[in-house]
Amino acid sequence: MERLLSHTVGFILNVTNSKVKNEFSRNLKPYDITPEQWGLINILFKKDGISQKELSQKSFKDQPTTTRILDNLEAKGLIKRKITLEDRRTFMIFLTDGGRNLREKLLPIAEKTLQKTLTGFKEEEIEQLKKWLNKIYNNL
């Protein structure tokens, strides 16, 4: 018996991811920030002054995509790039005060979106879901 596409794990993961991302995008729109930009801001807040390569790895984005996002954040005055003395081709990325302030302002919005996403789940169910999703990720 042929399974309906809408019943496959891949399809459900994809549409769920799209719905969560769209919800978060709507919540960030008044601040002119995308979920991708938020992700890099949040990584830099936790570990400021890292290379673009490390930022790409931590965000699971390729280098050209990371460059494009950083260009937008730099144009908004939220990050700054500094050339390293050891290798003039390597930039270290830092949040500006504006970037830090925006992160603090957006954190409750991110938390509210996550809370809405997980409404009705018990803590142990959330932990199990994360284990299953990580297992799927590690299978590939």
Instruction: List domains and CATH numbers for the chain.
Output: 5-139 (1.10.10.10)
In DSSP terms, 79 is beta-bridged to: 95
Q: Report yes or no: 78 and 102 within 8 Å, Cβ to Cβ.
A: yes
Q: How many CA atoms lie within 13 A of 98 on its CB side?
A: 10
Q: If we measure between CA atoms, which residue out of 44, 30, 23 comes closest to residue 103?
A: 44
φ/ψ of 93, rounded to 5, equals -110, 130
Cα–Cα dist 52/70, whole Å: 9
Structure confidence at residue 3 (pLDDT) = 60
Cα–Cα dist 114/130, whole Å: 13
Structure confidence at residue 1 (pLDDT) = 40
pLDDT along the chain (140 residues), means of 10: 69 92 96 96 94 94 95 97 80 95 96 96 96 94
Structure confidence at residue 2 (pLDDT) = 53
Structure confidence at residue 35 (pLDDT) = 96
Q: For the CA atoms of 55, 59, 63, 65, what is the dihedral angle to 10 degrees?
A: -130
